[in-house]
Chain A
């Protein structure tokens, strides 16, 4: 299984272009926010990164479902790489969210920020995915276990969100609003560009990592055959 060599350079180039474009737009085009100043701009990174993380987990779950249903040979690896990307972007979400909380409200962590808490729970869940994966011998059993776990993750997302929302009613924190600003046209456009940039970046990283992992697998198989 060799990577489709054309996809990776094209994606990487597109990602590079879009990221530069979005940085330019964010820092030089849209005006600064009246209340929060320059720190508000992190919103344009934080939310696309969060959405991309969800997309990665969703893609991982889709590949997991396909693996259990039809057993295409590459599905397990694709699911794993997607979830790996999801965890990376999830960690970035937590970091950017924390920075934004600090900049906006002066605290590094806010339990009232439902988005952040949800990501913390998901981060814990998907980190356990890696613990699971690396403590089982590679083979069909491991692929099945990881696939089921990935599906559980995607079900956990809405349930956890609901739980966190319910929890906020009785935890009674100091209430911070964590909504993004009302988006005027130029802001919405910038947001979309930033989102496209992060998604393309994730896709590029996904394909690069997938190509690398597939090479590993091929190499191992060749070594096996020679041994």
Chain B
């Protein structure tokens, strides 16, 4: 699904990624670990197509509509309600049973009660759950999750655990985290950054 050969990314003077190489097969689960600022986020952004490599090669055999991405920002409009946000993305991603899927995900992540509230009023944990809903909305083949457990409380983390367990083996994952023990059982491959 993903092949990287001596992948590098530089921001002006700073080198964020240096000659990273790996292969990730379909339905594999790549666990990326490393301290803050070690390049995990950069790698995920490159895989999502949000940035271009400055050296090396990267091939991601998934189209944009097959990729689900969770980054450091929740990527939802603060002035829109949770429901409006997800409906917008459902329509943009052409999700066939949009309304039903939106409702189902909101319920699964415990946001159904607050669906009519502006995302700007949500707590950090609720925003993260909303972001996960957004990423899973179109049932993507490839899931790129950058610190998905960030800001989640115990219940939210449990829901995420369940989702990952359900989908692992049926979808391809790249998960960056500095708390690897949570997902290490699911990992089929690892990449450690210094």
Query: Does B associate with A?
Result: yes
A139 within 8 A of B: yes
A to B CB contacts below 8 Å, 5 in the list: A137-B12, A139-B10, A139-B11, A139-B12, A224-B10
* A224–B11 alpha-carbon span in the complex (Å): 12
**Chain A residues with CB below 8 A from B12, complex form:** 137-139
B184 within 8 A of A: no
**Chain A residues with CB below 8 A from B10, complex form:** 139, 224
B52 within 8 A of A: yes
A140 within 8 A of B: yes
* A140–B10 alpha-carbon span in the complex (Å): 10
* A140–B52 alpha-carbon span in the complex (Å): 7
Tell whether, in the assembled complex, residue A224 and residue B15 are in contact, meaning their CB atoms are under 8 Å apart. Answer: yes
How many B residues touch A, CB cutoff 8 Å?
Answer: 6
**Chain A residues with CB below 8 A from B52, complex form:** 140
Q: Which of B6-21 contact A (CB under 8 A)?
A: 10-12, 15
* A193–B12 alpha-carbon span in the complex (Å): 44
Instruction: Write the chain B residue with the least CB distance to A137.
Output: B12
Tell whether, in the assembled complex, residue A140 and residue B15 are in contact, meaning their CB atoms are under 8 Å apart. Answer: no
* A138–B12 alpha-carbon span in the complex (Å): 5
Interface flags, A126-141, vs B, CB<8A=1, else 0: 0000000000011110
**Chain B residues with CB below 8 A from A224, complex form:** 10, 15
Q: Which of A94-126 contact B (CB under 8 A)?
A: none
* A23–B52 alpha-carbon span in the complex (Å): 50
**Chain A residues with CB below 8 A from B15, complex form:** 224
Chain A interface size range: under 10
B36 within 8 A of A: no
Interface residues of B (CB under 8 A from A): 10-12, 15, 52, 54
* A167–B52 alpha-carbon span in the complex (Å): 44
* A139–B52 alpha-carbon span in the complex (Å): 9
**Chain A residues with CB below 8 A from B54, complex form:** 139-140
* A224–B54 alpha-carbon span in the complex (Å): 13
* A138–B54 alpha-carbon span in the complex (Å): 11
* A32–B11 alpha-carbon span in the complex (Å): 58
**Chain B residues with CB below 8 A from A137, complex form:** 11-12
* A137–B54 alpha-carbon span in the complex (Å): 13
**Chain A residues with CB below 8 A from B11, complex form:** 137, 139
* A137–B16 alpha-carbon span in the complex (Å): 14
* A137–B15 alpha-carbon span in the complex (Å): 13
* A224–B10 alpha-carbon span in the complex (Å): 10
* A139–B53 alpha-carbon span in the complex (Å): 9
* A204–B54 alpha-carbon span in the complex (Å): 30
Instruction: Write the chain A residue with the least CB distance to B10.
Output: A139
Knowing that A137-B11, A138-B12, A139-B11 touch, tell me 8 more A-B residue pairs with CB under 8 angstroms.
Answer: A137-B12, A139-B10, A139-B12, A139-B54, A140-B52, A140-B54, A224-B10, A224-B15
| Nearest CB of A to B194, in Å | 15
| Nearest CB of A to B50, in Å | 11
| Nearest CB of A to B64, in Å | 18
| Nearest CB of A to B164, in Å | 33
Instruction: Write the chain B residue with the least CB distance to A224.
Output: B15
Interface flags, A201-227, vs B, CB<8A=1, else 0: 000000000000000000000001000
| Nearest CB of B to A63, in Å | 19
**Chain B residues with CB below 8 A from A140, complex form:** 52, 54
| Nearest CB of B to A105, in Å | 49
| Nearest CB of B to A145, in Å | 13
Instruction: Write the chain B residue with the least CB distance to A227.
Output: B15
* A138–B14 alpha-carbon span in the complex (Å): 11
Interface flags, A70-94, vs B, CB<8A=1, else 0: 0000000000000000000000000
* A139–B12 alpha-carbon span in the complex (Å): 7
* A140–B15 alpha-carbon span in the complex (Å): 14
Instruction: Write the chain A residue with the least CB distance to B52.
Output: A140
